[in-house]
Amino acid sequence: MAEDHMEVLPRPNRLAVAVLVLMIGGSILCTSLFSPLSAAADTAYGSGLYGAALYGGVVLDATGPVISSIVEGTPSDTSITITWSTDEAANSRIDYGATVSYGSASTSASLVTSHSITLTGLSPSTTYHYRIQSADTLSNSTNSSDGTFTTSATPDVTDPSISSISARTPDSTEVTIRWTTDESSDSAVAYGTTASYGATTTSSSLVTSHSVDLSNLLPLTTYHYRVRSADGSGNASFSSDQTFTTAEQGTTQNRPGQSVSIARGPAGYAGGTSTGVSAEISAIIIANRDVFLFAQAQGIALPAYILQVLGMGGTAAGSFTRDLETGAMGVDVRTLQVYLNTHGAVVAATGAGSVGNETQFFGPATKAALIRFQTANGIVPAAGYFGPKTRAYIASHP
């Protein structure tokens, strides 16, 4: 029969097939192929690679990533960045909260070895607990131990509020500028003969009551100044432009604790009647105006010559020995301002030229007040020029 002449094909080499299947990833099929093998095959191939394959024993990764080099960035008031490393590609997760129970998490699915997670929306001035977790492609995960960080306080972005600015009645070469702020801050005064200033005196002490002395000033000079205060966070405030006028050369203002004698009048005064007063005596009296006013408020009777120079009685005519106009400077200008302020023609409501702050400079405000005084009293021409007619009127109307 033909069958007796059929060629008998060799049986497949089952080991070769198994190896081929293993190479292409067919571990399940490989296992099914080798399951029926005899003990002889196991003896022949041992318990190595082939032996493991014979029993379906493909070795898989069962080790979690090693976490190292944990670094906490500097916390802000609402955020922090935490970085770490792993010895194999893995994802990133941080559990965090106000206690070790955490409660919040921030994650990244990217498989990396250098990890960085930024936590946001945190509360200022708060201590947080956190724990890092990384898992590899086969979900083997590793957790770090508990860590903590504290967020910073909410930053101060509010400027100090400046108030109560004052310039103590200036001497001929110095003045003290004072002001207050609503929070501790430093002190600076920019000053000069124009609103461009040019010089600055500072103090780095953080205080709420500020005092800055300006020295080496020019006598009989109007100065512009502006104060500035900055708090510990660098927030700064500036005042508007202010002015003061220094006194005549050699004039020194009364300091706290000094005494002023008022019992004896200068030469030229007899029985309280003025026959004239020198510029030097007028300067001393006017420079200490506040002291005399305080003495009068305490019931002390002031001599007539003091009242006259201060425009509080008698005649000040003896103080005027020249004509005055815009730009003039001197003690007689201050005396004129005192007279105008007490006779219905106020030079200024506040600041330089106002009551108690009369200056030795004849400026636009003095001229305007003099025009009002001349107009009200029928002095012609009412041009703001202080000449013989106005001097005569004042002499007859103390």
DSSP letter at 52 equals H
pLDDT of 256 reads: 44
Which pLDDT score is estimated for 308? 62
Q: What is the rounded distance in angstroms from the CA atom of residue 392 to the CA atom of residue 395?
A: 5
Residue 110: DSSP 8-state: E
Q: Could you tell me the sign of the dihedral formed by the alpha carbons of 212, 215, 221, 223, in that order?
A: negative
CATH topology of domain 67-150: Immunoglobulin-like (2.60.40)
The third-level CATH classification (topology) of the domain covering 162-245 is Immunoglobulin-like (2.60.40)
- Detail the DSSP E strand segments found in 41-161: 67-72, 80-97, 104-119, 127-135, 141-143, 147-150
Residues of the chain with CATH 2.60.40.10: 67-150, 162-245
Find the radius of gyration of the CA atoms of the chain: 48
State the Cα–Cα distance between residues 363 and 352, nearest whole angstrom.
Answer: 10
Output the pLDDT for position 22: 46
Query: And the tokens for 183?
Result: 């929070």
How high is the pLDDT of residue 271? Answer: 35
The token pair that represents 192 in the structure block: 């000069």
pLDDT tens-digit map of 15-39: 444 444 444 444 444 344 444 444 4
The rounded distance, in Å, linking the Cα atoms of 328 and 326 is 6
Regions of the chain short of the pLDDT cut 50: 1-9, 15-55, 254-276, 312-318
pLDDT for position 323: 85
The confidence score (pLDDT) of residue 264 equals 42
pTM of this prediction?
A: 0.41
Q: Round to whole Å and give the CA distance between 111 and 88.
A: 9
Alpha carbons 129 and 127: distance in angstroms, whole number = 7
Distance CA 383, CA 370 (A): 8
How many Å separate Cα 138 from the centre of its chain? 54
Instruction: Mention every residue, 6+ apart, whose C-beta is less than 8 A from residue 3.
Output: none
Residue 258: what pLDDT? Answer: 41
309 and 335 Cβ atoms separated by less than 8 Å: yes
| Structure letter (DSSP) for residue 240 | P
- Which segments of the chain belong to CATH 1.10.101.10? 269-396
Q: Where are the alpha helices (DSSP H) in 199-330?
A: 279-287, 289-297, 304-309
What's the CATH superfamily of 269-396?
PGBD-like superfamily/PGBD (1.10.101.10)
pLDDT of residue 132: 98
Whether 290 contacts 169, CB under 8 Å: yes
Instruction: Specify whether the CB–CB gap between 254 and 226 falls below 8 A.
Output: no
Q: How many CB atoms sit inside 10 A of residue 163's CB?
A: 10
Integer Cα distance of 343 and 68 in angstroms: 88
